[in-house]
């Protein structure tokens, strides 16, 4: 994950850093991560003033602690996520995908879903928790984006990167969007992506041991900073088996921000942020 990505993506990372800057992991050596601890802080609400710190001041370090609301910031090879111990799902997963990375040859064959030891034992969802349920194991950061590294491929199969997802959505419509993002990365050189679940007020739960909350839908926002062709777009898919062509799922990034309460890409200059986050024209991504 390069410096441009950190400067332009997710002031949420900065917010969490300011609130929880007590324990850190080295993003270059995942095997040497500091242990996760649970600590109490006053709030995890987004605060624009707190998030005004430039992302580059964080350097290459990021905190990995649980707050009083039960969220844990985790970094793996190639992507970051905010894990929610209450829903047993990530609230967001963020990564940069470059053109070179889309040409990776690493296979996901024989790579298994596994518990993520980055979070406390009681929150480590297992693959078998999904057995016999009506929802599949839906990658947020997809395996198809992580073929550039064996470690990245293994890490994206941690269950912290997984949400309960309808099988038809997972295999058809969500995958169509994942493939489109790879096409866009090849055309533009790189794209920055954030996605995650959207939960109803009172979600239903399922699971053999750990009880995962079932999202009502999923969002994804994509940003390209190709010089002279900067653009952004959002998508929202309902978590069911209804046909959902990509053009029907299009939303502006502003729409997704309103839906999720997150503020994406706010490190961009205000005028550029306002323009890009209002865009809804899918056709510009195919030019």
- For residue 83, give the CATH number of its domain: 3.40.570.10
Q: What is the pLDDT of residue 67?
A: 52
Give the C-alpha separation, 15 to 252, whole Å. Answer: 23
Pairing outcome for strands 250-251 and 231-238 = antiparallel
pLDDT band, very low/low/confident/very high, at 36 (cuts 50, 70, 90) = very low
Say if residue 119's pLDDT is above 70: yes
- The range of the structural domain enclosing residue 15 comes to 3-286
Dump pLDDT digits (tens) for 150-165: 999 999 999 999 999 9
Structure-token match 């994804």, residue found: 220
Q: Quick one: how many helices (H) and strands (E) in the chain?
A: 8, 13
Q: Is residue 5 scored above 90 in pLDDT?
A: no
Cα 284 from Cα 272, distance rounded (Å):
16
What per-residue confidence (pLDDT) applies to 118? 94
Q: With bands split at pLDDT 50, 70 and 90, how would you rate the model's confidence at 81?
A: very high
From start to end of 99-203, where are the E strands?
Answer: 136-139, 162-165, 190-198
- Tell me the C-alpha distance between 23 and 19, whole Å: 11
- The total number of structural domains in the chain stands at 1
Q: What is the pLDDT of residue 266?
A: 86
Q: What is the pLDDT of residues 237-246, one digit of tens each?
A: 999 999 999 9
Confidence category of residue 53, pLDDT binned at 50, 70, 90: very low
CA 276, distance to chain mean position in Å, is: 20
For residue 276, what are its two tokens? 């890009």
Helix (H, G, I), strand (E, B) or coil at 225: coil
């Amino acid at each position: 994950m390069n410096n441009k990505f950190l400067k332009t993506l997710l002031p949420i990372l900065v917010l969490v850093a300011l609130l929880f800057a007590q324990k850190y992991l080295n993003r270059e050596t995942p095997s040497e991560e500091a242990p996760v601890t649970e600590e109490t802080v006053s709030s995890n609400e987004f605060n624009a003033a707190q998030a005004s710190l430039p992302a580059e001041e964080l350097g290459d370090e990021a905190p990995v602690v649980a707050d009083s609301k039960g969220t844990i910031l985790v970094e793996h090879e190639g992507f970051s996520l905010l894990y929610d111990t209450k829903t047993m799902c990530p609230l967001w997963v963020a990564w940069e995908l470059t053109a070179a990375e889309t040409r990776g040859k690493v296979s996901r064959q024989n790579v298994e879903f596994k518990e993520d030891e980055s979070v406390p034992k009681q929150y480590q969802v297992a693959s078998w928790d999904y057995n016999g349920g009506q929802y599949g194991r839906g990658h947020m950061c997809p395996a198809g984006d992580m073929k550039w590294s064996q470690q990245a491929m293994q890490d994206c199969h941690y269950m912290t990167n997984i949400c309960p997802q309808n099988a038809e959505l997972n295999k058809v419509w969500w995958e169509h969007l994942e493939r489109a993002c790879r096409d866009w990365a090849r055309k533009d050189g790189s794209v920055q992506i954030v996605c995650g679940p959207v939960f109803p007020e009172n979600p239903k739960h399922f699971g053999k041991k750990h009880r995962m909350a079932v999202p009502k839908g999923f969002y994804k926002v994509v940003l390209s900073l190709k010089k002279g062709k900067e653009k952004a777009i959002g998508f929202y898919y309902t978590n069911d088996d209804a046909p959902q062509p990509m053009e029907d799922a299009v939303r502006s990034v502003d729409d997704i921000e309103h839906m999720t309460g997150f503020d994406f890409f706010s490190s961009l200059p205000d005028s550029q942020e306002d323009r890009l986050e209002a865009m809804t024209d899918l056709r510009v991504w195919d030019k």
